[in-house]
Amino acid sequence: MVLFFRSTIKFLEENKKFCLFALFSIHLFCFWPGIMTSDSQCQYLMAMSGNYGDHHPFIMSFLWRYIDKILKGSAGILVMHLSLFYSGIYFLLKSVAQKRLSLIFLGVPFIPPIFVYSGMIWKDLGFAYSFFCVMSYLAYLTMQRKNLSFFPKIGILVILAYGTLVKFQAQYLAPIVLVWIGWHCKHHNKDIAGIVKSISKVLIIFYGIISGIQYLGPKVKQDHSWQYVKLYDLSALSVELNQSLFPEFCKTKKFSMEKLHSLFNGSRVDYLVFGDAILEKGKNENERNFLWKTWCSQVARHPLLYIKHRVFNLSYTLISTPTFDYVIPFLQKSVDQKTFSYKILYCCARFLGWAFLAHFFPALLSCFYLIFGGLSLRSSTVAIPLFFMNAVSVGMLLALLFFSMAGTPRYTYICVCLVHASHVFAYLCWKKRENALYGVARRFYSNLG
C-alpha cells in the first residue's frame, strides 16, 4: 500500500501537466454542457437577441454571442470559465518549488464547495475564475521572482477587465489586484515614488482597457438595478418599524404592510420586486434621486437596524447550503421520518453539509490569513500571495455586506476559491516564521552558553 502511494505521488510529480489536463477533462465531463438557471437563460437571450441591459452586465452575454457560433448553448461559456480556472491551477503548480507540496493544488477544483457550483453558467463564476487566474499568475511570478513583461501584463489586465465588468462588486476589488501588479513591476525597487508611479501606470492602462471595451462594445440599456438594494434595505427597516418608509411611486397597487410582512425575506429581495411585485423602481431621474435621498435619511435615522439587516443578509450567504435540498427527499424516501434513525441521519447530513459546503469557515479562515499574511509581508515573499488573495476575499465580504440584494453562496464563491488556493502559501509562511523563531532561540541559548 505504501509502495503504491509513493509510486502514485511520483507519477503525479513527473506528469503534472497530463494530470491537470485529465482533471480538466473529467471536470468538463461531470457538468457538460453546463447547468443553466433563470439568470443564465436571461443572459443567453440577451446574447442571442443582441439587446443588452446592465442588470446582468453585458460582457458575458456579448462574448457568449460569438462563442455560441463555435459551441452552441451553454457549453462554450463552461469551457471558457473552466479554462480560466485550470489556467490558475497550472500557475499555482508552478509557483511552489516543492514538487510534492504543490500537488495539493490539483485537489482545489474538487473541494466540495468549489466543485458543486463549478458547472453553473453564472457571471459569479466568470468573475471568480478571472480573478483566480490573474492572481495565480501573479503568485507564480512572485514566488519564482520573475518579471512581468509588457504583453503578459496586457493579457492579465484584459482577463481582469472581463472579471471586473462581469460582476458589480468586482469594481471594488480590482484595485487590490492592480496594486499587486504595479508593486510587482517595481518589487526590486525600494523607492516609494517609483512604486506609486508603477501602480499609477497599471491603473491608467487597466481603466483605459475598461473604457475601450465599454466604448467599442454594444449599446447597453440602463436598468438602474441599484435601486433594488435600496428598496430591500427600506423593506427591512419598514418591517422592523412596522411602518412604510417607501416613496409613494415605489409602491405598486398590490402594496400593503400585511403583504410586505408576509413577503419580506431576509435572504433575498426577489419576492418583493419580481413576479407579483409590491415594489418597483423609480422610473425617471427625479424619482431615482428621491429614492436615494430617502434611503440615506432612513439609514441615518436607524443605523443599528440597517446594520442588523445587512449582517443577517450576509449570514445567509455564509451559512446556507442550497445543495442540501437534494438530500432531504433522498432521506425521506429511504428512512421513515417518524423514527429516531431519521432524526440522527438528518442531523448528521445537516452538520456535514454545513461543515463542508457552507462558506462560513472559509470566510473566517480568509480573515485570519489576511492578518497573518499582512504581519509577515516584510519577512517573507510567500506572504505576498497569501495577503493579496485574502485581501480580495475579505474585500468581497465587505462589498456584499453593503451592496447585495440577496444572500446566496454563489456570491462568495470567489472567497472560497481564493482561500483554498492560499493553504499552501499559509503553510510555507508559517514554516518560515517557525524556522526564523527557531534560529533566534538557538542563537539566544548559544549566547547564554
pLDDT in tens, 22-38: 999 999 999 999 999 98
What is the band of 276 on the pLDDT scale with cuts at 50, 70, 90?
confident
Q: What are the residue ranges spanned by the domains of the chain?
A: 2-221, 226-319
Residue 3 has pLDDT above 90, yes or no: no
Residue 336 φ/ψ region, left for φ over 0, alpha for ψ in the -120 to 50 degree band, beta for the rest? beta
Mind listing the pLDDT tens digit for each residue in 163-181?
999 999 999 999 999 999 9
Q: Report how far apart, in Å, the C-alpha atoms of 417 and of each of 78, 110, 283, 411, 412 are.
A: 17, 11, 39, 12, 9
Q: What is the pTM of this model?
A: 0.91
Over residues 281-307, mean pLDDT: 94
**CA–CA dist 46, 165 (Å, integer):** 16
**Average pLDDT across the chain, whole number:** 89
Q: Which grid coordinates are listed for 367? A: 480573515
Mind listing the pLDDT tens digit for each residue in 39-96?
899 999 999 998 998 888 899 999 999 999 999 999 999 999 999 999 999 999 999 9
Does 301 or 327 have the greater pLDDT score?
A: 301
Residue 230 has pLDDT above 70, yes or no: yes
Q: Report how far apart, in Å, the C-alpha atoms of 146 and of each of 88, 96, 150, 182 are.
A: 17, 13, 13, 14
Over residues 201-212, mean pLDDT: 94
381 DSSP β-pair partners: none
**CA–CA dist 97, 52 (Å, integer):** 46
Least confident residue range of 137-141, 273-277, 383-387: 273-277
Residue 266 has pLDDT above 90, yes or no: no
Does 358 or 435 have the greater pLDDT score?
A: 358
Over residues 362-368, mean pLDDT: 96
Of 435, 411, 392, the C-alpha closest to 316 is: 411
Residue found by looking up cell 428512512 in the block: 335
Over residues 360-382, mean pLDDT: 93
**CA–CA dist 102, 206 (Å, integer):** 31
Q: Report how far apart, in Å, the C-alpha atoms of 428 and of each of 101, 112, 140, 359, 373 are.
A: 10, 24, 14, 24, 11
In this structure, are residues 228 and 288 in contact, taking their beta carbons and an 8 Å threshold? Answer: no
Could you give the angle at which helices 383-402 and 413-421 cross, rounded to 10 degrees?
Answer: 170
Over residues 305-315, mean pLDDT: 93
In this structure, are residues 309 and 406 in contact, taking their beta carbons and an 8 Å threshold? Answer: no
Q: Would you state the pLDDT for residue 16?
A: 83
**CA–CA dist 300, 293 (Å, integer):** 11
